[in-house]
């Protein structure tokens, strides 16, 4: 009997000392991936984020779990999706664009939020400053407003005769407004045609206005609604022989003429490093917002040929990548 009791005591002691450690070891971090766009529109970026995690030693299903949620270009879907991720008790929420971050911010004041691309996080009220974000939010800025002038300059050099340029943008998103364009366009002798696209139904009327007012060229702001309809925009520009420059390289991959800006896939890979640091104990408030230092210029010669445009040598030589 005494031996039986001794075995029982030893077994009980072993279970009480091992089980808590096993339970702690078994806890796998859960990352919420909140996208304002659709799965098809952000597949490349999502994969870049996953690749960044893999490079840091994370294996999905083993030592990390990702919970993706997609708003399908509908901003009003972001708050309930963010709330759903909070209910799942994710350890970190990764998102993009000011509306995406604001939705996550409203849903939680404690769960760390990492943005993989926001135009102006300070002006958008997301962080206190770039150096010291404060609160539970940090990430990577895309500096999109500051690049508007450079895009118009490249477009003007590529097609010197253009005067009137159509600009597709969504007024709902701070940081993608008219201010930068309204300053840059007149300085280059360009007239700006502002066209608001808040939802899919707005594209038809915007395209009609472009044709009616005889715009000579086209550009578009960075926004999920616009990105979700990039093929539609690229096809319209090609059909109407409009030189165009975009804020997202995926437009050029779809057949667009030119892209100048940050590499979004790189930003999503970089976002994985923020996730890694936070999971290892660093507070978001102590992680400065990262600003891009490298920009890419891509030209699609197939698209140029399609609209009968010859790219000047002085522009072509500056391209980081040329699609032939």
| Cβ–Cβ under 8 Å, residues 213 and 242 | no
Query: Average pLDDT, stretch 293-322?
Result: 95
For residue range 7-30, list pLDDT tens digits in order. 454 455 544 554 444 444 568 999
Q: Which CATH number fits domain 26-142+263-286: 3.10.520.10, 3.40.50.2300, 3.30.2320.30, 3.40.50.1820?
A: 3.40.50.2300
Task: Judge whether residue 202 has pLDDT over 90.
Answer: yes
Closest CA to 94 of 262, 271, 225: 271
- DSSP assignment of 280-300 equals TT--GGGSPPB-----EEEEE
The token pair at 247 is 């804020």
Query: Average pLDDT, stretch 267-296?
Result: 94
- Of 37 and 312, more confident: 312
Fold of 144-261+296-323: Rossmann fold (3.40.50)
Q: Which pLDDT score is estimated for 2?
A: 53
Q: What is the DSSP letter of 146?
A: H
Query: Average pLDDT, stretch 35-39?
Result: 89
For the purposes of burial, counting CB atoms within 10 Å of the CB of 149, is it exposed (0-12), middle (13-18) or buried (19 or more)? Answer: middle
Task: Judge whether residue 125 has pLDDT over 70.
Answer: yes
Q: Which pLDDT score is estimated for 265?
A: 87
Q: What is the DSSP letter of 29?
A: -
| Cβ–Cβ under 8 Å, residues 78 and 100 | yes
Report pTM. Answer: 0.81
Report the alpha-carbon distance of residue 251 to residue 246 in Å, rounded: 7
- Of 117 and 321, more confident: 321
What mean pLDDT is reported for the chain? 89
Q: How confident is the model at residue 126 (pLDDT cuts 50, 70, 90)?
A: very high
Task: Judge whether residue 112 has pLDDT over 70.
Answer: yes
Q: Which pLDDT score is estimated for 176?
A: 54
For residue range 185-194, list pLDDT tens digits in order. 999 999 999 9
Task: Give residue limits of the domains in the chain.
Answer: 26-142+263-286, 144-261+296-323
- Determine the distance from the C-alpha atom of residue 133 to the mean position of all C-alpha atoms in its chain, rounded to a whole number: 19
For residue range 92-103, list pLDDT tens digits in order. 999 998 889 999
What are the beta bridge partners of residue 48?
A: none
| 144-261+296-323 and 26-142+263-286 share a CATH fold | yes
Q: How confident is the model at residue 227 (pLDDT cuts 50, 70, 90)?
A: confident
Task: Judge whether residue 110 has pLDDT over 90.
Answer: yes
Q: How confident is the model at residue 222 (pLDDT cuts 50, 70, 90)?
A: confident
Task: Judge whether residue 263 has pLDDT over 90.
Answer: no
Out of 10-24, 118-132, 243-257, 275-289, least confident range: 10-24
Q: Which pLDDT score is estimated for 18?
A: 45
Question: Within 13 A of 136's CA, how many CA atoms are on the CB side?
Answer: 16
Please enumerate in sequence order all residues whose Cβ is within 8 A of that of 212, keeping only pairs 6 or more positions apart, or say none.
Answer: none
């Amino acid at each position: 009997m005494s031996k039986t009791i001794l075995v029982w005591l030893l077994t009980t002691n072993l279970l009480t000392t091992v089980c808590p450690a096993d339970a702690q070891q078994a806890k796998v971090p859960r990352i919420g991936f909140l996208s304002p766009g659709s799965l098809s529109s952000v597949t490349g970026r999502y994969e870049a984020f996953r690749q960044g995690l893999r490079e840091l030693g994370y294996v999905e299903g083993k030592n990390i779990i990702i919970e993706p949620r997609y708003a399908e270009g509908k901003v009003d879907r972001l708050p309930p999706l963010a709330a759903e991720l909070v209910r799942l008790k994710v350890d970190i929420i990764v998102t993009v664009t000011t509306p995406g971050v604001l939705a996550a911010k409203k849903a939680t004041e404690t769960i760390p939020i990492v943005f993989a691309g926001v135009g102006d996080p300070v002006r958008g009220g997301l962080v206190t400053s770039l150096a010291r974000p404060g609160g539970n939010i940090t990430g990577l800025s895309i500096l999109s407003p500051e690049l508007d002038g450079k895009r118009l300059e490249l477009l003007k050099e590529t097609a010197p005769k253009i005067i009137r340029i159509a600009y597709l943008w969504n007024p709902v998103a701070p940081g993608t407004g008219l201010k930068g364009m309204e300053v840059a366009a007149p300085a280059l002798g360009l007239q700006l045609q502002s066209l608001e696209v808040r939802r899919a139904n707005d594209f038809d009327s915007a395209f009609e206005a472009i044709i009616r007012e005889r715009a000579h060229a086209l550009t578009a702001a960075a926004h999920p609604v616009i990105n979700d309809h990039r093929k539609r925009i690229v096809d319209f520009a090609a059909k109407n022989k409009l030189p165009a420059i975009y804020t997202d390289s995926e437009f050029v991959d779809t057949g667009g003429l030119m892209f100048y800006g940050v590499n979004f896939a790189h930003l999503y890979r970089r976002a994985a490093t923020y996730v890694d640091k936070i999971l290892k104990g660093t507070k978001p408030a102590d992680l400065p917002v990262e600003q891009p230092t490298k920009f890419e210029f891509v030209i699609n010669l197939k698209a140029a040929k399609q609209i009968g445009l010859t790219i000047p040598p002085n522009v072509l030589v500056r391209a980081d990548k040329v699609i032939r």
